[in-house]
Amino acid sequence: MQIHSAIPDLRAALKNKGRVVFVPTMGNLHAGHISLMQQARAHGETVVSSIFVNRLQFGPNEDFDKYPRTFEADCAKLTAAGVDVLFAPTEVDLYPEPQQYQVEPPEIQHQLDGEFRPGHFRGVATVVLKLFNIVQPQAAVFGKKDYQQLMVLRNMTRQLALPIEIIGGETVRADDGLALSSRNGYLSPTERTEAPRLYRLLSRIRQEIRDGNRNFSELERQALVELSDHGWRTDYIAVRQQSDLQLPQPGVQALVALAASRLGATRLIDNIEV
């Protein structure tokens, strides 16, 4: 696997490379990321990944400094997964001057996760557009685990007419249902035992909806109470339309149940398509 940190070196390495499929990451890779690399391989000739912990998408009270940086182990995993090229810029490579031009996503950036992480989706959209301009891939893979991020990036790509196919990668789960996440490492052993409750509740909501229950606010309320009874502090639990994450309109069937909740100091997010 080639590794480049400077933009001109990466561009030179990608000249005449056939169909490039890109998987951006912030590192601390787990099996969920590796499955995105495998999907990328199935969609193109050259798989490019990036590792960059993007300061712009972290709020002042979030875990930017604490975010796990495991570069050597990540490189070994990417090599084993058959990734061809890794772009691993420093902050100076990617933001040599303050990033004053930024992408302002629409109103949805202030809802769901955005309500609790002001500026997060602006930071994500800005870095991803910049990475797209640097790598110039034909396709890019993002995990469905970050469903709102995937939706924002898919709609940004479409509305700005970027010639890039956006592919949603399925969430990889532990045997007990917990979605794999870099933040799972923060959980204590007791919290780790409790954590799969989030997935079980989302699965129950999906089953209720499949059985014809469209009283979404009551389903959300019941899940909220159960989480709170077991010590969780919930930011949101919501049933939305898959396409734009707006409230479900009558008759719309493609829905998604999303949640973000805190166990101790760890904020977990998850979702299930219905």
Q: Computed over its alpha carbons, how large is the radius of gyration of the chain?
A: 19
Shortest distance in whole angstroms from residue 33 CB to ligand PAF: 8
Kindly report the number of other CB atoms within 10 A of residue 262's CB atom: 16
Indicate whether 140 belongs to the interface with ligand PAF (CB under 6 A): no
Measured from the CB of residue 54, what is the shortest distance to ligand PAF in angstroms? Answer: 4
Rounded Cα gap, residues 19 and 185, in angstroms: 35
CB atoms within 10 A of CB 103: 19
35 lies in the site for ligand PAF, by CB under 6 A: no
Closest CA to 14 of 130, 128, 127, 132: 132
Which range, of 20-28, 34-42, 78-86, 221-229, touches ligand PAF by CB under 6 A? 20-28
Q: Which of 28, 39, 46, 54 binds ligand PAF (CB under 6 A)?
A: 54
Active-site residue (options: 33, 43, 120, 230): 33
> Contact 132/158 with Cβ under 8 angstroms?
no
Label residue 205 left, alpha or beta by phi (over 0 means left) and psi (-120 to 50 means alpha).
alpha
Residue 89 as a binder of ligand PAF (CB under 6 A): the answer is no
Given the complex with ligand PAF, which of 28 and 208 has the nearer CB atom?
28
Distance of alpha carbon 122 from alpha carbon 56, whole angstroms: 8
Q: Which of 10, 14, 20, 25 binds ligand PAF (CB under 6 A)?
A: 25
> Does residue number 10 form part of the binding site for ligand PAF (CB under 6 A)?
no
Q: Total residues contacting ligand PAF (rule CB under 6 A)? A: 10
Least distance in angstroms from the C-beta of 123 to ligand PAF: 8
Measured between alpha carbons, how far apart are the two ends of the chain, in Å? Answer: 38
Which DSSP helix (H) or strand (E) runs through 146?
none
Question: For 173, which DSSP code?
Answer: B
128 contributes a contact to ligand PAF by CB under 6 A = yes
Interface residue with ligand PAF among 34, 40, 81, 124 (CB under 6 A) is: 124
| Residue 33 falls in the annotated catalytic set | yes
Q: Give residues in contact with ligand PAF (CB under 6 A).
A: 24-26, 54, 57, 124, 127-128, 146, 149
Catalytic residue positions?
33
